[in-house]
Structure 1
Amino acid sequence: MRKEIKIIGSGFSSLAAASYLAQQGHDVTIYEKNASIGGRARQLKKEGFTFDIGPTWYWMPDVFERFFADFKKKPSDYYELIKLSPAYQVYFGVNEFVTIADNLPQIIQTFEAIEKGSGKKLEAFMKEAQSNYDIAIKDLVYRPGVSPLELVTLETAKKVNQFFGNISKDIRKRFTNSKLIQILEFPVLFLGAKPSDTPSFYSFMNFADFGLGTWHPKNGMYSVILAMEKLAKELGVTIITNANIEKINVKNNIAESLTVNGTTVKGDIIVSGADYHHSESLLDQKYRAYSEKYWENRTFAPSSLLFYVGFDKKIENVEHHSLFFDTDFDVHAKDIYDHPKWPEEPLFYASFPSKTDSNAAPEGKEAGIFLIPLAPGLQDIPEVREEYFEKIITRFERLTQQTVKESIIFKESFCVNDFIKEYNSYKGNAYGLANTLLQTAFLRPKLKSKKVSNLYFTGQLTVPGPGVPPALISGKLVADLIAKNL
Structure 2
Amino acid sequence: MKNKITIIGSGFSAMAASCYLAKSGHEVTVYEKNASIGGRARQMKKEGFTFDMGPSWYWMPDVFERFFADFGKETTDYYELIKLSPAYRVYYGIDDFITIADNLEEIIGTFENIEKGSGILLKNFMAEAKSNYDIAIKDLVYRPGVSALELITPQTAMKVGQFFSNISKDVRKKFKNKRLIQILEFPVLFLGAKPSDTPSFYSFMNYADFGLGTWHPKTGMFDVVRAMESLATELGVKFETNANIEKIIVENKVAKAIVVNGQTIHSDVILSGADYHHTETLLDQEHRAYSEKYWDSRVFAPSSLLFYVGFNKKIDNISHHALFFDVDFYQHAKDIYDEPQWPKEPLFYANFPSITDETAAPEGMESAFFLVPLAPGISDTEALREEYFDKIIERFESLTKQSVRNNIIFKESFCKNDFVSEYNSYKGNAYGMANTLLQTAFLRPKLKSKKVNNLYFTGQLTVPGPGVPPALISGKLVSELINKQFSEQ
Correspondence 1:213 to 2:220:
no
Residue 272 of structure 1 aligns with which residue? 272
Q: Partners in 1 of 2:395 and 2:33 — Cα distance? A: 38
Gaps spanning 5+ residues in structure 2: where?
none
1:81-230 residue pairs with structure 2 within 5 A? 81-230=81-230
Please give the secondary structure, in 2, of the residue aligned with 1:138.
coil
CA displacement 1:178-229 (0-9 Å, x = unmatched): 0000000000000000000000000000000000000000111001001000
CA displacement 1:343-401 (0-9 Å, x = unmatched): 00000000000000000000000001100000001110000000000000000000110
Correspondence 1:68 to 2:85:
no
Residue 422 of structure 1 aligns with which residue? 422
Residue 387 of structure 1 aligns with which residue? 387
Q: Partners in 1 of 2:218 and 2:449 — Cα distance? A: 38
1:342-361 residue pairs with structure 2 within 5 A? 342-361=342-361
Please give the secondary structure, in 2, of the residue aligned with 1:144.
coil
Q: Partners in 2 of 1:50 and 1:359 — Cα distance? A: 7
Q: Partners in 1 of 2:236 and 2:255 — Cα distance? A: 23
Residue 38 of structure 1 aligns with which residue? 38
Residue 443 of structure 1 aligns with which residue? 443
Matched to 2:265, the amino acid is V
Please give the secondary structure, in 2, of the residue aligned with 1:183.
helix
Please give the secondary structure, in 1, of the residue aligned with 2:58.
coil
1:224-243 residue pairs with structure 2 within 5 A? 224-243=224-243
Q: Partners in 2 of 1:248 and 1:218 — Cα distance? A: 39
Please give the secondary structure, in 1, of the residue aligned with 2:463.
coil
Q: Partners in 1 of 2:409 and 2:303 — Cα distance? A: 26
Q: Partners in 2 of 1:430 and 1:422 — Cα distance? A: 11
Correspondence 1:257 to 2:250:
no
CA displacement 1:394-415 (0-9 Å, x = unmatched): 0000011000000000000000
Q: Partners in 2 of 1:485 and 1:138 — Cα distance? A: 25
Correspondence 1:398 to 2:367:
no
Matched to 1:307, the amino acid is F
Correspondence 1:9 to 2:24:
no
- How far has the Cα of 1:95 moved from its partner? 1.2
Q: Partners in 1 of 2:218 and 2:480 — Cα distance? A: 31
CA displacement 1:424-465 (0-9 Å, x = unmatched): 000000000000000000000000000011000000000000
Residue 59 of structure 1 aligns with which residue? 59
Q: Partners in 2 of 1:164 and 1:101 — Cα distance? A: 32
Residue 300 of structure 1 aligns with which residue? 300
Please give the secondary structure, in 1, of the residue aligned with 2:319.
coil
Q: Partners in 1 of 2:14 and 2:108 — Cα distance? A: 39
CA displacement 1:232-259 (0-9 Å, x = unmatched): 0000000000000000000000011000
Q: Partners in 1 of 2:322 and 2:88 — Cα distance? A: 6
Residue 481 of structure 2 aligns with which residue? 481
- How far has the Cα of 1:2 moved from its partner? 2.2
Matched to 2:230, the amino acid is K
Q: Partners in 1 of 2:242 and 2:308 — Cα distance? A: 24
Please give the secondary structure, in 2, of the residue aligned with 1:247.
strand
Please give the secondary structure, in 1, of the residue aligned with 2:137.
helix
Matched to 1:425, the amino acid is S
Q: Partners in 2 of 1:76 and 1:373 — Cα distance? A: 33
Q: How many residues align?
A: 486
Q: Partners in 2 of 1:292 and 1:218 — Cα distance? A: 42
Residue 311 of structure 1 aligns with which residue? 311
Q: Partners in 1 of 2:316 and 2:80 — Cα distance? A: 26
Q: Partners in 1 of 2:454 and 2:266 — Cα distance? A: 12
TM-score normalised over the length of structure 2: 0.99
Q: Partners in 2 of 1:193 and 1:2 — Cα distance? A: 42
Identity rate, percent:
75
Q: Partners in 2 of 1:171 and 1:288 — Cα distance? A: 41
Please give the secondary structure, in 2, of the residue aligned with 1:248.
strand
Matched to 1:198, the amino acid is T
- How far has the Cα of 1:484 moved from its partner? 1.2
Q: Partners in 2 of 1:95 and 1:435 — Cα distance? A: 35
Kindly report the root-mean-square deviation, in angstroms, between the aligned alpha carbons of the 2 structures.
0.4
Residue 244 of structure 2 aligns with which residue? 244
CA displacement 1:304-359 (0-9 Å, x = unmatched): 00000000000000100000000001100000000000000000000000000000
Residue 374 of structure 1 aligns with which residue? 374
Please give the secondary structure, in 2, of the residue aligned with 1:249.
strand
Please give the secondary structure, in 1, of the residue aligned with 2:344.
coil
Residue 289 of structure 1 aligns with which residue? 289
TM-score normalised over the length of structure 1: 1.00
Please give the secondary structure, in 2, of the residue aligned with 1:243.
coil
Matched to 1:345, the amino acid is E
Gaps spanning 5+ residues in structure 1: where?
none
Please give the secondary structure, in 2, of the residue aligned with 1:121.
helix
Q: Partners in 2 of 1:317 and 1:172 — Cα distance? A: 31
CA displacement 1:128-165 (0-9 Å, x = unmatched): 00000000000000000000000000000000000010
Residue 468 of structure 1 aligns with which residue? 468
Which 4+ runs in 1 deviate beyond 2 A? none
Matched to 1:305, the amino acid is L
Q: Partners in 1 of 2:92 and 2:219 — Cα distance? A: 30
Matched to 1:469, the amino acid is P
Q: Partners in 1 of 2:448 and 2:442 — Cα distance? A: 12
Q: Partners in 2 of 1:478 and 1:95 — Cα distance? A: 49
Q: Partners in 2 of 1:202 and 1:169 — Cα distance? A: 13
